[in-house]
Amino acid sequence: MKIAILSQDSSLYSTKRLREAGETRGHQMRVINYLRCYMNITSHQPTVVYNGNLLENFDAIIPRIGASRTFYGTAVVRQFEVMGVFSANESHAISRSRDKLHCLQILAREGIGLPVTGFAHATEDIHGLIETVGGAPLVIKLLEGTQGIGVVLAETYQAAKSVIEAFRGLNANILVQEFIKEAKGADIRCFVVNNKVVASMKRQGAEGEFRSNLHRGGKAEKIKLTPEERSTAVRAAKAMGLKIAGVDMLRSNHGPVVMEVNSSPGLEGIEKYTEVDVASKIIEFLEKNVKEIATD
């Protein structure tokens, strides 16, 4: 097959691993910087142009769209879809997962466990918003934040009130969530491929840090999921319409709660700590689906 990896940087671990896995399995792999693509949007012969050349005859694409480039990145993915190219994750699912509020609302509609979450525009009733999630301590998140940036733990009512007023004063959209104290700064990353959890790890935040992101000094280890956790991860990915997803969960007193569903999950941490060849699992998924489409 001829497969394009839509990535801004060919030197990134995830991009390199996907390329290596595809080439090992005999496929023609090409890394395309989607920001340097332009499109001819026509009903007769839609095209994508890269470095002055038409991108033709691709069987599949693997979108690795950066969170800050979602608008243009998903436009490129949509154009490939219009051209009949199979996408590992469809454009509408990527867009849906990147809108944190919309993502939580979809998961709530499906009955998937979530932390109690509040959202408001005006600051006139901050007290009511704080009480909605059970009071302090609570977590305040910027809707546009990624990788733990823009996430604040407010340990007192006054601290929560001050942070909310400051963010709203900057016209920033925020979520307010209950603090899952019993998680003790740890979360679970489940890597889902085609409605199956192929790898999972527990991430533990550095001492004194409630965020478990590895690049913030957190540590990780392979973990065995409970049946409920495995089911929750698969249901969350399916609800978002994602065939490839990183589902982040916390272990709460009332079962697993989903914090985020990531449409471009990194491979480095999950492959390192679980010793699972996740990149090859993704390529196998493409092989199966493109073959099925060809025989329909």
In tens, the pLDDT along 5-18 reads: 999 999 999 999 99
* Per-residue pLDDT tens over the stretch 81-108: 999 999 999 999 999 999 999 999 999 9
> Is the pLDDT reported for residue 291 higher than 80?
no
**Is 188's pLDDT higher than 70?**
yes
- Mean local confidence (pLDDT), 237-265: 96
**Is residue 147 very low, low, confident or very high in pLDDT (cuts 50, 70, 90)?**
low
Is the same domain home to 192 and 167? Answer: no
3-state secondary structure of 225: coil
Provide the angle, in degrees to the nearest 10, between the axes of the packed helices 100-109 and 91-98.
100
Specify the residue for token string 């090859």: 280
Instruction: Give residue 212's pLDDT.
Output: 55
Please enumerate in sequence order all residues whose Cβ is within 8 A of that of 145, keeping only pairs 6 or more positions apart, or say none. 151
**Predicted local distance difference test score (pLDDT) of residue 296:** 54
Cβ-based neighbours of 261, under 8 Å, separated by 6 or more: 97, 103, 107, 236, 237, 240, 242, 245, 246, 247, 248
Token pair in block for residue 102: 């919309």
Tens-place pLDDT, residues 229-238: 999 999 999 9
Distance (Å, rounded) from C-alpha 118 to C-alpha 250? 18
- On whether both 52 and 128 belong to a single domain, the answer is no
In this structure, is residue 82 part of a structural domain?
yes
Query: What is the percent of the chain where pLDDT is above 90?
Result: 75
Instruction: Determine the pLDDT at residue 207.
Output: 67
Shared domain check, 253 and 214: yes
Q: Is residue 69 part of a domain?
A: yes
**Domain span at residue 17?**
2-89
Residue 125: predicted pLDDT:
81
Q: Is residue 43 part of a domain?
A: yes
